[in-house]
Chains A and B, each alone.
Chain A
């Protein structure tokens, strides 16, 4: 087991190197570089730039160097915890991301908790009361949740809030707290503001989760061991909790792998619509303006999260499901 874990961790290194090459290549693929798209953007607004200054920046940012050298410099820096320099903000990448990462994790964590808290009971109810009115009603809601894109829901909510309450629901904290150091009132303000984005971002995921939970549980409920347990006289609640529910949880654990990167990049478009100070809009903007080290570092971090997430879910599955553990042991 230990060898397996060490092997998996060692395997992550070449994976990450391969990913870094792919990420860097893809970022370099669109024509031009940051300065060129910067000039193009200024000119589109009728502004002009001093060519002398552009030449200076090109030298300063190292954009006049060959791509291979730029790549090595970037990767070399990452090992020392230096993720490069964001051209757009004129700051080291780590400083740019700063608070945003934390806020994103808060929103995402709440969203995940919200999703679970709502989806679990409803999924179980739907499965155990299959084809009842409750099941139909909740399924309908679930389908609506899947069908309506999050950002659309956000736009509708923005509009309704303005028309009926005359307020604006964007943002993640009261305006007086933006850019201020952390304090208790600030945390309270974030909690007050976060339920709307959490609801909007979570809506789609919740609906999907309900459907998955229902389907998995239904599969298990029809199996013979359930019938046997019932026949032996176990109370229905205990049957459910002890056997089929546990079996149905596997999908849920293997989901962790895709959940972790979601924490960083989740719901970019919704975050743009709601003006959330999370990392999604920043990643989007960095990609658009070819701010390559900022975008690259984000993508690397996402890749890292996926790799770690898959590892965690694999290990968790091994730990939780004796079938996987035992068969895996035999193969090894």
Chain B
């Protein structure tokens, strides 16, 4: 076989931009690089010298899709530093706002970004001509997630109502009540979505991943838990940096996160699902089984089903929280600065998001570290591409490129969190 080159200059339908370079010589993949042109860690630098109370609002600006994740990891890290525990209804409200963000983010990715790959459309605009009802469903689902975030977060983008210790204002029961019917519709729509994506054709592709996610004693994880893996990892969040570190890759200005002595690991919906299937609500479990998804799944292309299942769960969980809600007396617990260091890790829609801060006795941030999920998945994306291309060299150039892009989108990479700009280059020499 002669050497080949496949070039795709722009990878669409991922959040942000970057570049992927796959080099094929004969029948062998010789090189795979995920090149991300990350600007200097602007936000980490920007946080230095600011007050600890500003961290949730500043970091919420990093990503327009998952501001709540940034706020949650920030507040948990600060509360860890200050020895504060937020529980009861305030804790429940944090889960509720996270439900809104998962619904929004998953609806967008499942329908607008990933489904066109499976249905053979260039994009959601083309897909909408043949599937207008499904696209309308996506828009409505996303809107409901948005309404939840807006109600609790104060506004839809860059929410401002989240603070260290709780919220600035908490909703009344009456304010939450109108959401119930909306969420019931959303839950039905999510079940329907799971049924639809379960009928898609999935490339045969499975790998022996190390999945890493939070695990909580009795909840599907959002804000709290231990960091666990299917290969024996079981650590408190505080030990994150003893087990994971970031490597600078010469071809990319971003940092790749790896596990010490073990290499790449997989974070996100598929990891959460494999490690926490037993913590899903019965309805979400049932939706998964009906769509043909076993409690364990190692095919990353099926992450689209998992996102749909998690959407069912998020609607279910939101309804449970609203049903049990009693307005707390105070919107937040008191926090007082002290010289300290704290860590937080929460489950963003795309996977674990780690924050660590050091503050002085007046509450000024001395340094910050933020590890977004996409930075943690980069090595896995590269190794997926290496294996996928190796096994599919007989595909036409067009089909191979299409499926490589699809393989990247399995991870819903939010390049804008870890960088700004994604181009895909599959080069066959």
Physical interaction between A and B: no
* Residue ranges of B at the interface with A (Cβ–Cβ < 8 Å): none
